[in-house]
Amino acid sequence: MSAVLASLFASGFFSSEAVQIALGVGVIVAIVAAPVGVLTVIRRQSFAGHAFGDIGTAGASASFLVGLTPLWGLLLANLAGGAAMEGAGVERARSRDIATGIVLGAALSLAALFLYLDMTSTSTTGQTVTILFGSIFAIPTSTLPLAGGLGGVVLLVTLIFARPLLLSSVSPEIASAKGLPVRALSLLFLLTLGLAAALAAVTIGTILSTALLIGPAASALRLTKRPLSAVLLSALIGIFAIVVGIVLAYDSYRWPPGDRTWPVSFFVVMLVFAAYLLSGVPDLVRRRRQDSWSAAGGARSGAGQRSTGDDRSTGGQRSGAGQRARGHEPHHRGGAGPLGEMEA
Amino acid sequence: MSAQRWQQAAGGPGATAAGAGSAAAAGVPGAAATGPGATAAGAGSAAAAGVPGAAATGPGATAAGAGSAAAAGVPGAAATGPGATAAGAGSAAAAGVPGAAATGPGATAAGDVILTVQGVDVWLSGRKILDRVSFELRAGQLAGLIGANGSGKTTLFRTILGLQRPSVGSVVIGASQAQRRRRHTPVGYVPQKFELDPDLPLRARDLVELGIDQPRLGVPLRHRARRALVDQALESVDALRFADARVGRLSGGEQQRVLIAHALVGRPRLLLLDEPLANLDISSGEEVVSLLAKIASEQSIAVLVSSHEINPLLPVMDRVVYLADGRAASGSTHEVVRAEVLSRLYRHHVDVLHVHGRVVVLAGPGELTDLSGHDADLPAGSVPGHDADLSAGSVPGHDADLSAGSVPGHDADLSAGSVLP
């Protein structure tokens, strides 16, 4: 038993301060991402979530230039970006995507400049990699209380405004007919999403932050039909991905090429991806069962229909098996992930 | 609901006219037809319905018309005075539906005026969308808001909801002005287009629950009392059997029932439905229509249903508000769907023909249009549709409706294009 534990948790895992901070920040982020992610998926604003990653890149790279903690840069950039997106017009879904895309483009061009300046001032690409892909083991201790405070704010806002946000997400028309300030709620949510994205970017980098926001929520939404359980399930999936990702990354110190850990973000995002694929299985099974049910109905109504029913049933089986095989794919591919080589 | 505040319509003196018709007056064609488009105030005296105090007639400004008097089985109410004096029964619901008690403390007595739209003008980007629209609606009544696309139905709804401010005139719901008390106006609303995501993590009952106490803050936790309210609302639309299904995966008709329950759970006194029949096949449309009639009478609320065709609503409508180019005529179907009234409304000669229990409106030479359907033989008693035993089958035009179901809307659109100036 202890041998298993020892092989799972490499020596020094629990005593390492870096690991403790990483676990603390990671769990905070996973919890915060759950309600925000669920609302983001319901509101179909994943693109805005992604845009915050790019906007955050500009903010984080700028904060390096002036010697600030990256989280502050992420924060300020995302809040400004959220306001800009809302100001550029998000009333209709279509103009919303356009506004998001335009703000995203502007932010990326700023990021290009700041990252260039970062590189020339330090003569390394280390900070660029940290910003883009995160380095959860190098989070300064001072970030922990800040992340906790921010996470608390985000959680509080989403919990307080859960009902109006949910209703205005389901039907803005009904919400405004009830006198809810739909536009203000939309801005409020966008800012909340920006804060959550900033927190996610600290752990797994700006580029991959969306995965941690959207992935667990999207998986949870496929598994449950209740809003509250969707949030709880999403938090559990997120915590699982982060904690297991951190453990695996710590272990990877002993893996080739050696003496270095693989990027945590790689493990976390791949675990989230696997969770998303697996979350589709129950639905497939249900559909397969419905098919065999209708096959049974076909048998009752006549021999001619029975064969079609059986065909459909086996078809369901085939696709179910295919889905399961695909569900394991990320683990296999993990051995040769391109991100592993990028850790400088 | 005692104090009725009548806002003086700034629309001017000529705005109101005598509408002294009643449903029973179907046999009395001589009754004065509704006025020249602008207003047809149906101020049935609530005293007749046994509700004192609600008898609110303006200072001579509005003339009275008895709203669907025969509905209450009081044919005598048809004896309306000419013009100024109000007389008439409120609605069939006044006949005393026991279900009204179930609606709780906020319930209004049947026959009370719930909605008063008075001389409303709405301008949008330099265009006059609504032109001195006036009508009123009482508890227990189901009214159809009939008009082609672009006639102003949605703008009128937005005005009633307090989302659009009229430049002239007023909208009074109960005793409070819609635009002032926007946040607390007890109006239920079911929008026309709703596309609920199939993966939405909401069961039907969760969506209904969101209708309680909005905009209350906090997490949607489940309490026994709230659950009972939700169950009650779902039951009233016959949706309990799919209460626990994912709402986005229900059929269009089922989703609509859930949305109606969502609106009802907030205990509104007025329920607005924007084109509820537009996306339904004919039989589900009939179900929804009779469901709405049942809700209006049992819960004693006013229901306003917009539609571009009148025929599906004919069996259950107590009132019709007919919109054309922003102008409105209102009253019972017998008062409004007449050649002279519609001709005045459209400012164009219009013929109203009765064909197989439906009405075809001919606008101009050679242009066949069907704006409405209304049956000359339709007994007055079947118009209100409050009788529980009123099935679709009891309507003479039922089969005709079915067979021609897809045609009317099309024609109505055509007519709008051809008639409107």
For residue A150, the distance in angstroms to the closest alpha carbon of chain B comes to: 19
Residue A263 is classified by DSSP as P
Which sign does the torsion angle of CA B82, B328, B107, B71 carry? positive
Contact B201 A163 (CB under 8 A): no
Q: Which residues of A touch B272 (CB under 8 A)?
A: 177
Q: Which residues pair with B170 in a beta bridge?
A: B118
Is the pLDDT at B378 greater than 80? The verdict is no
Residues of B in contact with A160 (CB under 8 A): 217-218
| Least Cα separation, residue A35 to chain B (angstroms) | 11
Determine contact: B106 vs chain A, CB below 8 A. Answer: no
- The three-state secondary structure class of B63 is coil
Question: How confident is residue A193, by pLDDT bands cut at 50, 70 and 90?
Answer: very high
Query: Which of A54-68, A153-167, B29-43 is most confident?
Result: A153-167
Question: For the whole model, what pTM was predicted?
Answer: 0.68
Torsion angle of alpha carbons B228, B229, B235, B241, nearest 10°?
Answer: -60
Give me the mean pLDDT over the B125-138 stretch: 88
In a domain, A325, yes or no: no
Q: Cβ–Cβ of B201/A38 closer than 8 Å?
A: yes
Distance between CA atoms of residues B16 and A319, nearest Å: 69
Residue B406: both structure tokens together: 């897809």
Q: Is residue A306 part of a domain?
A: no
C-alpha dist (Å) from residue B322 to A104, A225, B44, B114, B118: 49, 42, 19, 19, 15
Residue A234's pLDDT is: 95
Position B95, amino acid? A
- A236 has a pLDDT exceeding 90: yes
A173 reaches B (C-beta below 8 A): yes
Taking CA atoms, A138 is separated from A19, A28, A69, A144, B210, in Å, by: 9, 16, 12, 12, 44
Report CA-CA distances (Å) from B22 to A152, B38, B109. 63, 18, 21
Relative to beta strand B176-177, strand B168-173 is antiparallel
Q: In this predicted model, what pLDDT tens digit does every residue of B389-412 receive, in sequence order? A: 333 333 343 333 333 333 333 333
Which residue in B154, B160, B184, B199 has the most chain A C-beta atoms within 10 A of its own C-beta, making it the best mutation to test that interface?
A: B199
**Do B99 and B83 meet the contact criterion of CB atoms below 8 Å apart?**
no
Contact, B245 vs B203, CB < 8 A? yes
Contact: A163, B219; criterion CB under 8 Å:
yes
CB–CB contacts below 8 A, A to B: 91
CB A207 within 8 A of CB A57: yes
Q: Which residue has the tokens 């339904």?
A: B280
B6 versus A210: which is more confidently predicted?
A: A210
User: Who wins on pLDDT, B82 or A219?
Assistant: A219
The total of structural domains in chain A comes to 1
Q: Is A171 on the interface with B (CB under 8 A)?
A: yes
pLDDT for residue A294: 65
Angle A289-A294-A296 (CA atoms, 0-180°, nearest 5)?
95
Cβ contact B201–A159 (<8 Å): no
Residues from chain B that touch A224, judged by Cβ atoms under 8 A, are 201
- Judge contact between B223 and B305, C-beta under 8 A: no
Q: Which residue in A has a C-alpha nearest to residue B183's C-alpha?
A: A179
In-domain check, residue A309: no
State the pLDDT at residue A327: 36
Q: Can you give the pLDDT at residue A256?
A: 79
Q: Distance between alpha carbon B87 and the CA centroid of its chain, in Å?
A: 21
Mean pLDDT, to the nearest integer, of A225-238? 92
Instruction: Determine what percent of chain B is predicted with pLDDT higher than 90.
Output: 9
The token duo for A107 is 């932010």
A336 found inside a domain: no
Residues 6+ apart with CB under 8 A from B302: B114, B115, B137, B138, B139, B140, B141, B142, B143, B269, B270, B271, B296
Distance CA B29, CA B21 (A): 9
Task: Grade residue B343 by pLDDT with cuts at 50, 70 and 90.
Answer: confident
Q: Which residue, B190, B205, B142, is CA-closest to B333?
A: B142
pLDDT at A93: 59
* Most B CBs within 10 Å, among A38, A157, A163, to test the B interface: A163
* Cβ-Cβ contacts under 8 Å for B59 (sequence gap 6 or more): B6
The answer to whether residues A312 and A298 touch, using CB atoms and an 8 Å cutoff, is no
The pLDDT of residue B404: 35
Q: Does B132 touch chain A (CB under 8 A)?
A: no
Using CA atoms of B216, B260, B255, B233 in order, give the dihedral in degrees to the nearest 10. 70
Per-residue pLDDT tens digits for B161-175? 888 889 988 888 876
In eight-state DSSP terms, residue B380 is G
- The answer to whether residue A142 scores a pLDDT higher than 70 is yes
Cis-peptide into B215, omega within 30 deg: yes
Average pLDDT over residues A223-240: 92
Residue A243 pLDDT: 92
- Domain of residue A239, CATH code: 1.10.3470.10
| pLDDT recorded at residue B181 | 46
CB burial class (10 A; 0-12, 13-18, 19+) of residue A46?
Answer: middle
pLDDT at A47 over 90: no
Domain that holds residue A31: 13-286
* Residue B366 burial by Cβ neighbours in a 10 Å radius (0-12, 13-18, 19+): exposed
> Which tokens sit at B327?
């102008």
Residue A301 has pLDDT above 70, yes or no: no
Higher pLDDT, B121 or A254: B121
| B338 inside 8 A of chain A by CB | no
Mean of pLDDT values over A247-273: 84
Separation of alpha carbons A229 and A226, rounded Å: 5
Q: What is the pLDDT of residues B282-318, one digit of tens each?
A: 888 888 899 999 999 888 889 999 998 888 888 888 8
Number of Cβ within 10 Å of residue A243's Cβ equals: 17
pLDDT surpasses 90 at A241: yes
**Interchain CB contact of A112 with B (< 8 Å):** no
Q: From CA A145, how far away is CA A95, in angstroms rounded?
A: 38
Tell me what pLDDT residue B386 has. 35
Q: Is A159 on the interface with B (CB under 8 A)?
A: yes
Listed by number, the residues of chain A in 11-50 with a beta carbon closer than 8 Å to a beta carbon of chain B are 38, 42, 44
Q: What is the pLDDT of residues A335-344, one digit of tens each?
A: 333 333 333 3
The per-residue pLDDT for A261 is 77
Mutation to test the A interface, candidates B154, B176, B189, most A Cβ within 10 Å: B189
* pLDDT in the model for residue A30: 93
Bond from prior residue into A164 cis (ω within 30 degrees of 0): no
Does A165 contact chain B (CB < 8 Å)? no
Residue A204 falls inside a structural domain: yes
Q: How far is CA B228 from the centre of its chain?
A: 28
Length of chain B: 421
Cβ distance of A179 and B182 shorter than 8 Å: yes
Q: Please say if the pLDDT value at position B367 is more than 60.
A: no
In terms of Cα–Cα distance, which of B158, B116, B132, B171 is closest to B324?
Answer: B132
Summarize pLDDT for B78-99 with one digit per residue, the tens: 333 333 333 333 333 333 333 3
Asked if residue A282 belongs to a domain, the reply is yes
Does residue A44 sit within a domain? yes
> Residues with Cβ < 8 Å from A193, sequence gap 6 or more?
A36, A40, A45, A48, A49, A52, A82, A213
The single-letter code of the amino acid at B39 is T
Q: Among A46, A155, A225, pick the best mutation site for testing chain B contact (most B Cβ within 10 A).
A: A225
**Token reading at B332:** 């019972």
Which strand (E) or helix (H) includes residue A97?
A: helix A93-122
List beta partners, residue B355.
Answer: B358
pLDDT at res. B268: 87
Distances (CA, A) of B279 to B283, B288, B320: 12, 12, 21
Q: What is the CB-side half-sphere exposure of residue A324 using CA atoms within 13 A?
A: 8
For A40, nearest residue in chain B (alpha carbons):
B200
- pLDDT(A1) > 70: no
In chain A, % of residues over pLDDT 70: 79
Question: B143 near B270, Cβ under 8 Å?
Answer: no
Cβ contact, residue pair B200, A170, below 8 Å: yes
Residue B73, classified by CB atoms within 10 Å of its CB into exposed (0-12), middle (13-18) or buried (19+), is middle
Q: Which residue in chain B has the smallest CA separation from A217?
A: B201
Q: What is the average pLDDT score of chain A?
A: 78
Q: Where does the pLDDT of residue B229 fall: very low under 50, low under 70, confident under 90, or very high at 90 and above?
A: confident
Contact B217 A228 (CB under 8 A): no
List of chain A residues whose C-beta atoms are within 8 Å of the C-beta of residue B199? 221-222
- Inside any domain, residue A322: no
Cα Rg of chain A, angstroms: 22
Per-residue pLDDT at A217 exceeds 90: yes
Asked if residue B213 lies in contact with residue B265, where contact means CB atoms within 8 angstroms, the answer is no
Is pLDDT above 90 for A271?
A: yes
Residue A332: per-residue pLDDT: 37
- In this prediction, what percent of chain A has a pLDDT beyond 90? 21
Tell me if ipTM is over 0.90.
Answer: no
d(CA B193, CA A77): 37
Burial B253-263 (b: 16+ CB within 10 A, else e): bbbbbbbbbbb
CB atoms closer than 10 angstroms to residue B290: 17
**How does residue A276 score in pLDDT terms, banded at 50, 70 and 90?**
very high
Tell me, what's the pLDDT at A4? 67
Task: Grade residue A176 by pLDDT with cuts at 50, 70 and 90.
Answer: confident
Give residue B261's pLDDT. Answer: 93
Question: Is pLDDT above 60 for A111?
Answer: yes
Q: Determine the residue type at B282.
A: I
Contact check, Cβ <8 Å, A174/B199: no
